[in-house]
Amino acid sequence: MNRNEFVREIAKAKGISRTRAYQSVNAVMDTIRMALLNGDEVEIGGFGTFAVVKDLKGERIPVFKAGKALKSVMNISESEE
């Protein structure tokens, strides 16, 4: 799913315009980006944590660690769905 598809799904799910959904998605991504730039982690309960680690060359790399609830949903067998 690319960004435009993501925005379209949010607009449809929430009954809002694509413009409003696009603005909301951008606001979330900008907030996460700025927090990471400031050295903060962003933990979204039930989803996961965004953080920054340094590689061997000292470059900062953004990473995402899935939370327990997200991992659990991803591992439900097809028979349970």
Q: Could you tell me the pTM of the whole model?
A: 0.83
Task: Give me the tens of pLDDT residue by residue for the chain, a chain 81 residues long.
Answer: 999 999 999 999 999 999 999 999 999 999 999 999 999 999 999 999 999 999 999 999 999 999 999 999 998 866 555
Contacts of 49 (CB under 8 A, 6+ apart): 41, 42, 43, 64, 65, 67
What pLDDT score was predicted for residue 76?
Answer: 83
Domain ranges (residues) in the chain: 1-28, 41-81
